[in-house]
A and B are shown apart, each in its own frame.
Chain A
Amino acid sequence: MQASQTASASPAARPVREEEPEAASAAPAANALRPRTALSLAPEPRLSAAPERGAAPAVVEFRHVSKLYAPGDVGLERATFAIGRGEMVFLVGPTGSGKSTIMRLLIKELEPSEGAILLAGRRLSEIERKKIALYRRNIGVVFQDFKLLPTRTVYDNVAYALQVTGASRRQIRDRLPEILRLTWLSTKLHNYPHQLSGGEQQRVAVARAFASHPPLLLADEPTGNLDPETSIGIMQLLYRINRAGTTVIVASHDKEMVDRMRRRVIELKRGRIVRDESAGRYGAREEDTDELGERLRRETA
């Protein structure tokens, strides 16, 4: 029955998953908007990728969060949900439904008009402007348009994410090859972004987002500009990162792809959450990255 969670997930994520069979048996409608009460909300000052025993606050929690861009222009309306450690969650919905708003709220590019956002138990509104840079180092972000630094090579793009944290050249030299190998970029080290295909550029973006091993990774339409085959590659990559213990949130309007991933889905429409569905009902055994890729290719074809 226990299905959707990753094999590598930690004991700390248990409370979330123990709840899921029950959630899966409930009707989808009833399941929507249901707060995940099983999660402890005890504050935790620092994010950590390493799971801890005992209290496990949700990595991300939205409490009645609304965002009005202008009077009448609703970005998000009373959104309430919680995402546990090690989860992989998809935000789906048409353009303008609020997916990107959630992402931008999470990286503190926007401030909510109402409600509270908590990251690992800490209210984002308490983070002062000067500390935003430090805060963002806890979150890897991948965008539809890659957002690479055009004047830097693949290696330097990924290295920059470590340089901002104050990592020494030696630490970077020790850590980067592994990340670049995981993202199949080892042969492209000295290429500039404009010399790469779209899929390769997105892999660089993923590598950069993951370089400092953040506990949370956000991907905003990561496959929006890519063909199906390349998209599968990116999804495999995100899946692999998730299996390594990182909480991953992916925004996408590609509903079919999301359904095939068999993960928790939060669907949005005009700023409202209309579905929050865990994927336990698939009941399949936990796949590894290669199996996922094969299945996705089979089902896409």
Chain B
Amino acid sequence: MRPGFFLKEALRSMRHSALPSVAAFASVLVTTLVLGVFIPVVEATNGAANDVRGRVLVDVDVASGAGPAEVARVRAELERAPHVGKIEFVSKQRGYEQQRRINPEAFQMIGYNPLPDIFRVTPDRPEHSAALRAELDQSSPLGVRVVTDPAIAAVRNRQAQTDRILSATRVIKITMALLAGLLVFASVLLVSNTIRLSLFSRRREVEVMKLVGATDWFIRWPFVLEGLFLGALGGAGAVGLLALAKVTLVDPLANAVKLVSQPDMIAFPLLVAVLMACAIGVSAAGSGISLRRFLRV
């Protein structure tokens, strides 16, 4: 084939049908821009939700008279129990110091350390907190709760708080998924409509080319190249705007606000690569495929 000729044809058609080209460029730019903003937002939101969910805990209070041997036994039992993710031991003394720092006056009034030794158990998944609690703190047939080990004084999973965290983060996740789906749908619609419009305005031209004896690919290559150019241009424009926003808005804030610099947020170079691939791929493939309808002459 002759790449030089097709390149020239693509440039010519962009020059001569400036309006559809600008429309295609603009729609790719806007879509990529929205996607580029939305991907980090979704990531940050999900990250934040997961972070909050990570705070779902089950506290296991060790009985006040228990010695080091009993504490070690409880730890071994916890390690064997199902649904256990992480176990953190907070000794009486450490707990006292932590709490006193938060509320010094109250502890001054009490004058002694009322806190037990505590195992802070993180369930392997937040949803399993209730099951974990039930495992350690079983109901007897009489309806009285019985702990499984005499050295365990109580098992608390802060039921109300856990429920609220779980339902709130679930709503956020579902909302984000719906929004993401909607956005992708809107993007595909916008880009494909723009492509179809600009091809429709040139269907006569395609018809004439076919009548003169041009093969399908002879007609299609310039269109694909044109889509590739416009996609790259639109994608580059959007990435430029995103980079500008990152440098001027997000980076200065990142130090102040924790949310913006979530450790699991997508890296900027990766985001750029994803956006450019989408913009170029969708435009080039879109114009090549949409042309099929007009090639059936």
Contact = CB atoms under 8 A, between A and B. Distances in A.
What's the interface size class on B, roughly? 10 to 19
Given A107-B211, A149-B208, 8 more contacts: A133-B214, A133-B215, A133-B216, A133-B218, A152-B12, A160-B209, A164-B214, A164-B215
A275 interface: no
Interface in A195-224: 208
Contacts of A134: 213, 215
A148 interface: yes
Contact of B213 (A136, A148, A149): A136
Nearest to A148: B208
9 contacts: A107-B211, A109-B297, A133-B215, A136-B211, A147-B208, A151-B16, A160-B212, A164-B209, A164-B213
A228 B262 CA distance: 79
Interface string B185-207: 00000000000000000001101
A161 B12 contact: no
A147 B209 CA distance: 10
Contacts of A2: none
A136 B16 contact: no
A164 B211 contact: no
B213 A165 contact: yes
Interface string B90-108: 0000000000000000000
B13 A141 contact: no
Given A141-B211, A163-B5, A149 B297 contact: no
Report, nearest first, the 6 A-B pairs whose CB atoms are least far apart.
Answer: A151-B16, A137-B213, A136-B213, A164-B214, A133-B215, A147-B208
Q: Which of A133, A152, A164 lies at the interface centre, i.e. has the most chain B CB atoms within 10 A of its CB?
A: A133
A108 B17 CA distance: 30
Contact of A164 (B16, B207, B212, B297): B212
Nearest to A145: B204
Contact of B17 (A133, A151, A208): A151
A147 B213 CA distance: 14
Contacts, number: 46
A133 B208 contact: no
Q: Please classify the interface of chain A as helix (H, G, I), strand (E, B), loop, or mixed, using the class held by over half of its residues.
A: loop
A165 B17 CA distance: 25
Nearest to B218: A164
A151 B208 contact: no
Nearest to B1: A166
B210 interface: yes
Contact of B212 (A109, A151, A208): A208
A72 interface: no
A150 interface: yes
Contacts of B204: 147
Contacts of A136: 210-213
Nearest to B216: A133
A162 B259 CA distance: 62
B121 to A, nearest CB: 69
Given A109-B297, A163-B5, A150 B209 contact: no
A9 B143 CA distance: 113
A151 B13 contact: yes
Nearest to B16: A151
A187 to B, nearest CB: 23
B213 A161 contact: yes
A165 B218 CA distance: 10
Contacts of B207: 147
B207 to A, nearest CB: 8
Contacts of A161: 212-213
Contacts of B215: 133-134, 164
Interface string B12-30: 1100110000000000000
Contacts of B218: 133, 164
Contacts of B211: 107, 136, 141, 147
Contacts of B214: 133, 160, 164
Contacts of A149: 205, 208-209
Nearest to B17: A151
Contacts of B213: 133-137, 161, 164-165
Contacts of B205: 149-151
A160 B212 CA distance: 8
Interface in A138-156: 141, 147-152
A147 B208 CA distance: 6
A209 to B, nearest CB: 8
Interface string B241-265: 0000000000000000000000000
A201 to B, nearest CB: 13
A151 B218 CA distance: 17
B226 to A, nearest CB: 13
Contacts of B16: 151
Nearest to A136: B213
Contacts of A164: 209, 212-215, 218
B75 to A, nearest CB: 75
Contacts of A165: 213
A106 B72 CA distance: 94
B216 A151 contact: no
Interface string A101-145: 000000101000000000000000000000001111100010000
Contacts of A148: 208
